Chain A
């Protein structure tokens, strides 16, 4: 199997090795094409975003205005904070120059002169590795003014790394832009979309790290080649991060559409102790969990997972064996979303806290069957009623975990004690600063 994003080439993270393996040849080729040609090729390749929503990358790029009256920006999303996801860090460590080359081609295609690479603050080590690669690229004339000479073109662009500081919400695209602007990471109301009103109000495109790393091979080998890999409607390879109760957890680059069971059994070495699987979350903790008996025939691409009742998300596969206490897992997931809610919308701020409290009450042996219905009801009132998709991300695990594992959750609530749930809980994130103070900027 061919690896596109993480090729098995030793020391590929050194520029000379990268250059010896067709490095920056795609960029050279790109500069002989028009930006429309490149966008067209990416569209035809069928590449879909690897950041969670699997949106068509070429289509997203085509939303960027053609006029040059305002500066345009590219943001590369390396916030990687979705629980269960640990793939972009492999790119920072093992193939940083392909990411940089992808950034150059993308900037050229959308007409951006500046790209910001947003990396989560906890990734100190990987930020250093990436910064090194960026510095070397500047020195060797692959970024900045010197590009013009290197590539014999009149285009040049800058790439800056912006270090996050611990906030899951900053992975949401509009929150990420506020964070780069030096503000609290509050998601913005959409529309207007980033292609119209992004960084500092200018046209902006946001793509995931893995998405951008796929660009050079597409330009080098052509869209037809790419479109034939894996599942036709969601082509290419995907970095699957497998964690939880498996023998060989890790990141596996495989064609999209690979059987979920095959990834778990063949690549991740099967479940520890040969136990049965109770539950799998296939795309990071925000995606609907699947029952062990729902996994047969499920393929890891956007369409198949949708059909199976879940979503591809970030491709982070969390495997839970038959002995897992799902109430504990769900409490932990709900705590996470409550903690990370930015507090702007009432359904998300209050609802996430309410769900966590109700689940903890069940854990304390004080729950009833009605609480399970209540949880699903609260979840359904959050879903679709918030500014950003964190609301849905908080609602789905609760709604689907309880409906799909109702029998197990009934077990936890056989105690008929009734205590009313207090409905006044607040986001744990400090939201003491009035919004009005921020709007000055």
Chain B
């Protein structure tokens, strides 16, 4: 399916380009804008990003595939990220990860059938003082217990 940026996003892209001396440098923020508009980065999206920035598509592809926060397939409406790095596992992160897996019926980088949830086991999120923690989309939830995680997931519409 052909992808085009909205007028509003094109304006944002213009503003972003002014921050950098080359248009290639705008590629990371522009991929974010595209991901927000389209949900994920498809081949067509990459083509359009390359187009808008007048760069080679391989430049977009190489960046999209390097960074873990860019998704090349659709994720759930709520993308649940569970940190299982050291400070978090010391405070029970594996139990939380297991209980989320069980509750949602999905594993790392899978999406529920209804498209509501996706799950990712992530590296340290810089919230070790609030371990164990999870993030849902852009929000952090810290100092968790299995019960609290359950409550949070249940509260999502």
Q: Which A residues are closer than 8 A to B by beta carbons?
A: 71, 80-86, 88-89, 120-125, 158, 160, 162-168, 179-185, 200, 241-245, 249-251, 281, 285, 316, 318, 320, 324, 328-329, 332-333, 336, 339-340, 429-430, 432-433, 437-438, 440-441
- Bound CA span A80–B61, Å: 25
- Bound CA span A121–B123, Å: 13
For A121, list chain B residues within 8 Å (CB): 67, 69
For B130, list chain A residues within 8 Å (CB): 249
Given the interface contacts A167-B68, A251-B129, A332-B84, does A181 sit within 8 Å of B90 by beta carbon?
A: no
Out of B20, B62, B129, name the residue touching A437 (CB < 8 Å). B62
Contact A125 B28, beta carbon cutoff 8 Å: no
Out of A81, A249, A430, name the residue touching B129 (CB < 8 Å). A249
- Bound CA span A160–B25, Å: 12
Contact A441 B89, beta carbon cutoff 8 Å: no
Q: Is B63's CB within 8 Å of the partner chain A?
A: yes
Contact B125 A179, beta carbon cutoff 8 Å: no
For A88, list chain B residues within 8 Å (CB): 126
Best-buried of A81, A82, A122 by chain B (most CB within 10 Å): A122
- Bound CA span A152–B140, Å: 42
Q: Is B152's CB within 8 Å of the partner chain A?
A: no
For B58, list chain A residues within 8 Å (CB): 433, 437
Contact A124 B131, beta carbon cutoff 8 Å: no
Residue in A closest to B143 when the chains form the complex, CB atoms: A249
Smallest beta-carbon distance B90→chain A, Å: 5
Out of A80, A182, A250, A324, name the residue touching B22 (CB < 8 Å). A182
Given the interface contacts A125-B140, A182-B27, does A85 sit within 8 Å of B66 by beta carbon?
A: no
Query: Considering only CB atoms and an 8 Å cut-off, how many residues of chain B contact the other chain?
Result: 46
Smallest beta-carbon distance B19→chain A, Å: 4
For A184, list chain B residues within 8 Å (CB): 62-63, 66
Q: Is B10's CB within 8 Å of the partner chain A?
A: no
Q: Is B138's CB within 8 Å of the partner chain A?
A: yes
Contact A84 B63, beta carbon cutoff 8 Å: no
B115-132 to A contact mask, C-beta < 8 Å, 1/0: 000000011111111110
Question: Considering the complex of A and B, which 10 residue pairs feature the smallest CB-CB distances, nearest first?
Answer: A165-B67, A166-B68, A166-B69, A243-B128, A124-B138, A243-B87, A83-B124, A182-B27, A182-B24, A184-B66
B140-154 to A contact mask, C-beta < 8 Å, 1/0: 100000000000000
Given the interface contacts A84-B87, A86-B126, does A249 sit within 8 Å of B131 by beta carbon?
A: yes
Contact B123 A168, beta carbon cutoff 8 Å: yes
B56-77 to A contact mask, C-beta < 8 Å, 1/0: 1011011101111110000000
**Can you offer 11 A-B residue contacts whose CB atoms are under 8 A?**
A71-B21, A81-B123, A84-B87, A121-B69, A125-B139, A160-B20, A167-B68, A185-B66, A336-B85, A430-B65, A441-B59
- Bound CA span A85–B124, Å: 9
- Bound CA span A166–B65, Å: 11
Contact B65 A241, beta carbon cutoff 8 Å: no
Best-buried of B28, B67, B87 by chain A (most CB within 10 Å): B87
Taking chain B's interface residues, is the majority helix, strand, or loop, or is none over half, making it mixed?
mixed
- Bound CA span A139–B11, Å: 21
Out of B31, B81, B123, name the residue touching A83 (CB < 8 Å). B123
Q: Is B105's CB within 8 Å of the partner chain A?
A: no
- Bound CA span A181–B23, Å: 9
Contact A122 B126, beta carbon cutoff 8 Å: yes
Out of B19, B56, B81, B129, name the residue touching A241 (CB < 8 Å). B129
Contact A432 B85, beta carbon cutoff 8 Å: no
Contact A180 B87, beta carbon cutoff 8 Å: no
Residue in A closest to B26 when the chains form the complex, CB atoms: A182
Smallest beta-carbon distance B80→chain A, Å: 13
Given the interface contacts A249-B131, A333-B86, does A80 sit within 8 Å of B126 by beta carbon?
A: yes
Q: Is B5's CB within 8 Å of the partner chain A?
A: no
Residue in A closest to B72 when the chains form the complex, CB atoms: A430
Contact B131 A200, beta carbon cutoff 8 Å: no
- Bound CA span A433–B130, Å: 37
Contact B91 A244, beta carbon cutoff 8 Å: yes
Out of A124, A180, A182, A432, name the residue touching B59 (CB < 8 Å). A182
Q: Is B13's CB within 8 Å of the partner chain A?
A: no
Smallest beta-carbon distance B107→chain A, Å: 16
Contact A329 B70, beta carbon cutoff 8 Å: no
Contact A165 B28, beta carbon cutoff 8 Å: yes
Smallest beta-carbon distance A226→chain B, Å: 27
For A251, list chain B residues within 8 Å (CB): 129
For B91, list chain A residues within 8 Å (CB): 244-245
Q: Is B135's CB within 8 Å of the partner chain A?
A: yes
- Bound CA span A357–B125, Å: 24
Given the interface contacts A165-B70, A167-B68, does A122 sit within 8 Å of B62 by beta carbon?
A: no
- Bound CA span A200–B68, Å: 24
Out of A165, A318, A433, A440, name the residue touching B86 (CB < 8 Å). A318
Smallest beta-carbon distance A154→chain B, Å: 22
For B69, list chain A residues within 8 Å (CB): 121-122, 164-166
